[in-house]
A and B are shown apart, each in its own frame.
Chain A
Amino acid sequence: MLNGREKKAVGVETIGMTMRFGAFTALDDVSLKVPAGSFHALLGENGAGKSTLVKCMMGFYRATSGDMLVEGREVKIASPKDASALGLGMVYQHFTLVQSLTSAENLVISREGVPRVIDWRKERADLARFMETMPFELPLDVPVSTLAAGEKQKLEIVKQLYLGRSFLVLDEPTSVLTPGEAQEVLGFVRAMTVAGDVTVLMISHKFPEVKAFADDFTVLRKGKVTGTGRVAEHDRKVMAAMMIGDQPIATLDSRAPVTRDARPVLTVRTLKAPDRTGLKTIEIQDLSVRSGEIVGIAGISGNGQKEFLEVLAGQRQRDAGEVLVKGAPYRASRVEAQTLNVRFIPEEPLRNACAPKMTVAENMSFRNFDLDTSGKPVNWINGRVIKAFAAGLVEQFKVKTASLSSPIESLSGGNVQRAVLARELTGDVDLLIVSNPCFGLDFSAVAEIRARIMEARNAGAAVLLMSEDLDELLELSDRIFVMSDGALVYETPIAMASVQTIGEHMAGHH
């Protein structure tokens, strides 16, 4: 049963894979060759057909035409079961682990032929023996919900190996990981391929990780292969060009200088609040953000950034301290946000800034659906005005939606983010609070969203930006703070910022 290490890596090939959904061709004659024991990166923008291709390979979709070879032999894969029988496994972007079960329970229940009554002594011994062959340790006896994102991702991969898979598809495996976790997980996967234990096909749109870990790459655009080759022989620019074709990429406005006497818009003093566990507190001694500047907050996830943001957004109670916006106390009520022009772009916008089942138009008018054009409250809400308002924003911010009346949850992640951005950046913005705005978005969406934030800054908004992506902070911020263990431990103006020093403070060496 535990033959993950006995089976050797297999090579997989698709020949002329084509997939049509009605009149729409999602995959057009895609041939892809992944030799045994190699690490292959599949690049492409959202909607380029990467997911469709791997779903055809894993048996979730039946390709319209095309063949699939495993170890050079033609195979028919009609269902995910067939795929797993051939040793093909997939690690999804969203975790498929069962949160309330322990790691050990997750592993055991997922394998075939579990006995009716589980002999935990035997299973535990088997698992311990299996884990000895892994390069890292995982806590097996705690519920999965208590694991960090990196540990969950490792467990997903370990699960596939435990099930004896010899070809793994990783769907954007690092999109929920911090840079450190991503390095560790991919390093582990890389080592497995080098040892010849497993073959990997990784969907990604992050060039640094592709450059660092993959052997070969294939690029898809609009369902067609636009390029393939050795990673070492191509540089980033060439790959980016294959990915996005000749469409223009949004560029950042040049940075307008911060005026010396710019007034502080957001002031936070001696703020105290409990963290998620209720065991620790976060404390922000003194933070001010001035008009026309972007203040970045760096930190490894779980150091209190999320809680700080929740306090500012009114999602979390504070124990002490004050938050002032333009000198007035701010408690995140709707009236205060309206009069003080405070806007908010939280992470996971679908969960934190939208009502998922309400329509795109309704969601985009949350800030002003009950106001008339002069800002006075109205008694009757006018659906036509809401639709016209939303239609304007959809046009202006290029939100791709089937209709204004679709539920917003039917939009892709990037388009939800655009819709929220459109809502929050329309009208007068004096304070903009942003958290991880580009999480899991593709290349051109990222560039565009960053450009919009910079635009708001240049128009005089004070921007507080929290991000786990250090490159993003370095690109956008005027000043950077590091948050560690619930407190701001380091501050640097962008001109003097060094990745080295910031990294050290993030890791808690201060």
Chain B
Amino acid sequence: MEQTDLGLWGVPLAILGGAIRVSTPFIFVSLGEAITERSGRINLGLEGVLVFGAMTAYAVAVLTGSPWLGVLAASASGACFGLFHGWICKFPKVNDIAIGIALMLLGSGLAFFFGKPFIQPSAPDLPAIPFGLWSNSSQVQAALNINILFLIGAALAVFLWWAFKNTRAGLIVRVVGDSSDAARAMGINPNTVRLLATAIGSALAAIGGAYLSLYYPGSWNEGISSGQGLMAVALVIFARWNPLGCFAAALLFGGAGALGPALQSVGVTQGYYLFYAAPYILTLLIMIATSSPGRALAGAPGVLSITK
């Protein structure tokens, strides 16, 4: 195959490819957290759930040879963590943020403990769809080789956006998130709704972890997460609890994260590592630009403890 050099055009292309690759875990974690927070709870433990999900997925994939079974097992383990969080938080005077932090450490710790034997063996990767086959440039092909989880995440974002408006379950989650009293007056038990919302949210976060160990970077080790679970919580606030916003924010964040490697690939050697900080700087700038001292956060669920 003939190689064409795209020159500087390689940078935006690499950013696009990188955005899709890097953003997938953010999409799943932030969508999961959006569901949980819309129901009025914060689960900061998603970082731990993500790491445990990565380990579970990898281990099951190694043992069974099927990456999809790994994803399934990861989401089941995530749901267990979510149920645990939701169950503890239903007791009075329990703070969801504190429990979340404890869960974050517990999840990572358990993952390292059970994951030790799986650092060496290699697991089958999740499949990707090569949308770039039409081109004879290897860079285009690399960028457009899109993994299936990304597509599922995109579809999920659209579905959740629709579901929050058009389904009974979506409206009930919003009611519970806005006012526990209003929910009780309607005969809804807020704790049950929050329990389920936390479980579903954690299951999604664990799928984000499965993506890390089974696709990109595609191996299991203790440093597999670089804080995606925590950053995703910030993304949800930045996206104003809107699933489509979460998707866009995750892509933006992924794209900014791909800036460093992309510049490096075209031969920028001076200070490129500064660009590795781009996503964090970007988040800070957007947060500052979109916030105001005189206005409350629009769209924030009423019973969320950070907005009280």
Contact = CB atoms under 8 A, between A and B. Distances in A.
Contact of A118 (B167, B177, B293): B167
B301 interface: yes
A115 B187 CA distance: 16
Contacts of A118: 166-168, 171
Nearest to B170: A118
A509 B110 CA distance: 71
A100 B172 contact: no
A409 B251 CA distance: 45
Given A96-B185, A109-B186, A317-B294, A101 B166 contact: no
Interface string B153-183: 0000000000001111101101101110110
A105 B171 contact: yes
Contact of A117 (B167, B186, B301): B167
5 contacts: A80-B185, A98-B178, A101-B175, A114-B171, A278-B295
A311 to B, nearest CB: 12
A274 B294 contact: yes
A214 B178 CA distance: 35
Nearest to B176: A98
B168 A114 contact: yes
A101 B171 contact: yes
Given A105-B171, A274-B294, A97 B182 contact: yes
Contacts of B299: 100
Interface string A405-442: 00000000000000000000000000000000000000
Given A99-B302, A100-B174, A317-B293, 9 more contacts: A98-B182, A100-B302, A101-B178, A105-B174, A109-B186, A114-B171, A116-B168, A118-B166, A274-B294
A98 B187 contact: no
A263 interface: no
Interface string B88-123: 000000000000000000000000000000000000
Contact of B168 (A80, A117, A316): A117
Interface in A254-311: 274, 278
Contacts of A117: 166-168
A98 B175 contact: yes
Contacts of B292: 278
Interface residues of A, number: 22
Contacts of B178: 98-101
A227 B174 CA distance: 45
Interface in B264-301: 292-295, 299, 301
Contacts of A278: 292, 294-295
Residue from A81, A97, A109, A278 having most chain B Cβ neighbours under 10 A? A109
A96 B168 contact: no
Contacts of A101: 171, 174-175, 178
Interface residues of B, number: 24
A156 to B, nearest CB: 11
B216 to A, nearest CB: 35
Residue from A98, A116, A274 having most chain B Cβ neighbours under 10 A? A98
Contacts of B166: 117-118, 120
B179 A81 contact: no
B294 A109 contact: no
Contact of A115 (B168, B172, B186): B168
A488 to B, nearest CB: 23
B232 to A, nearest CB: 22
Contacts of A316: 294
Contacts of B301: 100
A215 B112 CA distance: 74
B175 A99 contact: no
A96 B294 contact: no
A278 B294 CA distance: 8
Contacts of A100: 174, 177-178, 299, 301-302
Interface string A110-124: 100011111010000
Contacts of A80: 185
Interface string A224-260: 0000000000000000000000000000000000000
A96 B184 CA distance: 10
A109 B175 contact: yes
A99 B296 CA distance: 14
A278 B299 CA distance: 17
B167 A116 contact: yes
Residue from B171, B181, B299 having most chain A Cβ neighbours under 10 A? B171
B301 to A, nearest CB: 7
A96 B302 contact: no
Given A81-B187, A110-B186, A99 B168 contact: no
